[in-house]
Structure 1
């Protein structure tokens, strides 16, 4: 087992057919996202020389169970994909009973890995956990803003409150206290009053628990007021917006790989890379596929990937980005 732990597993190893199943919503309201997964998985299958079998889970429970059974009938030894919780919850018992592992490229709900041991699910994921973004905001911004006066505001939504409150608590645990905390009215035409309060507080930085439109308006009004306020937000900053974003806005988000594709294409590509590498490595050594997934380190489009004892990524994938006026770039690339 120690040898497996130390090994960096490459998808370019081994020969012989490897049949990988893709479970994704290819029809219905989430078909566009499922098609992103399909595109990424197909590209990785060609690169790693595996046979990809696709099944439509329709993003629903019945669809998930029927997709899992279809993939088993096709003789797959591992399944990737999975976007919707309802489909995943129905598919996992079917796959686990058959001894077929699942690597999710899309399901983020914490309960899937939190319950993995209790349920006995053969489940891993390259998609981040729901709480990974909140954790990353704290891990990245607390040390970065340690010597600055900072504020925390949110839009009153569950998402906004949770991410802002997690950051506030993490700051206080580290002996830091924001100079200003407030909830603003979202979707307003301007945020002049909020910006005025932020300026009066003396804050030099502000974390905003909100969407791209609101952050763009706050940044616009801050610039109009002559403030050099540095504004940061979460991955909702990647959403489409009719409001131009100011250069310098910070975003905590998972890096993208546009050369592979948009949205879920990248995570599906990485999931197939892992499935291919683990399958071929296990086949070569007559080993156990689940043991390889548990202990291997995999070369992927997301970088080196290793899973923790819950089946989550062992390293939080979120990174800090800065908007350069046209696009978000990784902060380390922007130095």
Structure 2
């Protein structure tokens, strides 16, 4: 044995002792989280979902959150101002919630001035993100951006219906009209035009004249910018007249089943939290352990807790501010991968394509896509 090796062996106990005595990497500071959620009224249930999701995650991951402080989101500009002031006084590091555009828009400049970022789970309006980017607000959108709904829909139509005669119809409401127009614009950018464009009166018990117009136009596929109940009426009328039509709609199809069912095979562009994928299984099990089911805002709120918890556990927290930690970092969540860009917008679409089977929507599978692609050839 050489002297060099012998010297190394003799020094090994000293080295081990020194390593054992050396301080371990500093544990990330616990974050103080604010939840601004409806405490009463028609949206109280959604507020309960957010609270429960954070409680479930915190119970299974102790130490990441220093505390969780609640404020009331009354969905008005005044309540937004009041809640922002309460969060500042409570000394929170980040606020999650503000489920309504009015309260969020009022609170954002106040909280941003105090360098407190805000993460919304529900507000989709593109204008909020645009204003946040222009004015430098600390804004993060976990909710899907409104514009991405039309992107997913147009992509699906181009992929599955490009060689089929198809129609775009809408219910005359602002949301339906804007969605259909956005889909139409994106399709025309790809040199694909609908064979028929029309609108209809919503809330009718039957739609005979609309279906006759669809039949006369010779279409076999219909994208509907409207509610679930209206699409169900149109589908029932088409069956009554013997017109074979396949349907697709937007996120408005995520609604309770009405008097008439939607036909199986109906496609819909839905928020990813509505039809969670396999990445949500751990969250489902966590809720089940607390006798809850993964419904409503529980999965999106759980994903928010996962993101904030991951940021809290970053070893360099304390040298880097929270906004920087959240920006550009890929997070694995119950909603799937989430990455916020420099303006706080989620880079992933936030919407997925779903298909109705046995009365329930599920995510479109690879097999479904292959079958639909085959039908379009």
Instruction: Give me the TM-score of the superposition, normalised by structure 1.
Output: 0.89
- Of 109, 114, 119, which aligns to 1:98? 114
Asked whether 1:183 is paired with 2:199, we answer yes
Q: Aligned with 2:365: secondary structure?
A: helix
Asked whether 1:21 is paired with 2:34, we answer yes
Shift of the 138–309 alpha-carbon distance from structure 1 to 2, 3 Å rule, reads farther
Shift of the 14–198 alpha-carbon distance from structure 1 to 2, 3 Å rule, reads farther
Unaligned runs of 5+ in 2: 1-25, 288-293, 369-377
What does 1:17-56 correspond to in 2, within 5 Å?
17-49=30-62, 50=65, 51-56=67-72
Give a deviation string over 1:198-241, Cα, whole Å, max 9, x none.
22322121111111111001111222333331111111111122
How far apart, in 2, do the equivalents of 1:309 and 1:139 lie?
26
Deviation at 1:301, TM superposition (A): 0.8
Asked whether 1:305 is paired with 2:321, we answer no
Asked whether 1:232 is paired with 2:245, we answer no
Whether the 8 Å contact between 2:124 and 2:144 is mirrored in structure 1 is yes
Task: Give the aligned partner of residue 85 of structure 1.
Answer: 101
Deviation at 1:178, TM superposition (A): 1.6
Task: Give the aligned partner of residue 323 of structure 1.
Answer: 356
How far apart, in 1, do the equivalents of 2:244 and 2:169 lie?
17
Whether the 8 Å contact between 1:297 and 1:306 is mirrored in structure 2 is yes
Shift of the 272–109 alpha-carbon distance from structure 1 to 2, 3 Å rule, reads same
Asked whether 1:286 is paired with 2:319, we answer yes
Unaligned runs of 5+ in 1: 1-12
Deviation at 1:16, TM superposition (A): 5.0
Deviation at 1:283, TM superposition (A): 4.8
What does 1:119-138 correspond to in 2, within 5 Å?
119-138=135-154
- The answer to which of 294-303 and 91-100 deviates more is 91-100
Shift of the 85–214 alpha-carbon distance from structure 1 to 2, 3 Å rule, reads same
Whether the 8 Å contact between 1:57 and 1:66 is mirrored in structure 2 is no
The count of corresponding residues between Structure 1 and Structure 2 is 323
How far apart, in 1, do the equivalents of 2:229 and 2:50 lie?
27
Give a deviation string over 1:24-55, Cα, whole Å, max 9, x none.
12123432222222222322333333232211
Task: Give the aligned partner of residue 207 of structure 1.
Answer: 223
Deviation at 1:180, TM superposition (A): 1.6
Whether the 8 Å contact between 1:41 and 1:272 is mirrored in structure 2 is yes
Shift of the 283–80 alpha-carbon distance from structure 1 to 2, 3 Å rule, reads farther
Task: Give the aligned partner of residue 305 of structure 2.
Answer: 272
Task: Give the aligned partner of residue 269 of structure 2.
Answer: 252
Task: Give the aligned partner of residue 262 of structure 1.
Answer: 295
How far apart, in 2, do the equivalents of 1:98 and 1:223 lie?
58
How far apart, in 2, do the equivalents of 1:279 and 1:66 lie?
27
Whether the 8 Å contact between 1:22 and 1:41 is mirrored in structure 2 is no
How far apart, in 2, do the equivalents of 1:213 and 1:192 lie?
15
Whether the 8 Å contact between 1:105 and 1:267 is mirrored in structure 2 is yes
Give a deviation string over 1:77-111, Cα, whole Å, max 9, x none.
11111111222223222322222211111222222
Instruction: Give me the TM-score of the superposition, normalised by structure 2.
Output: 0.79
How far apart, in 2, do the equivalents of 1:106 and 1:185 lie?
28
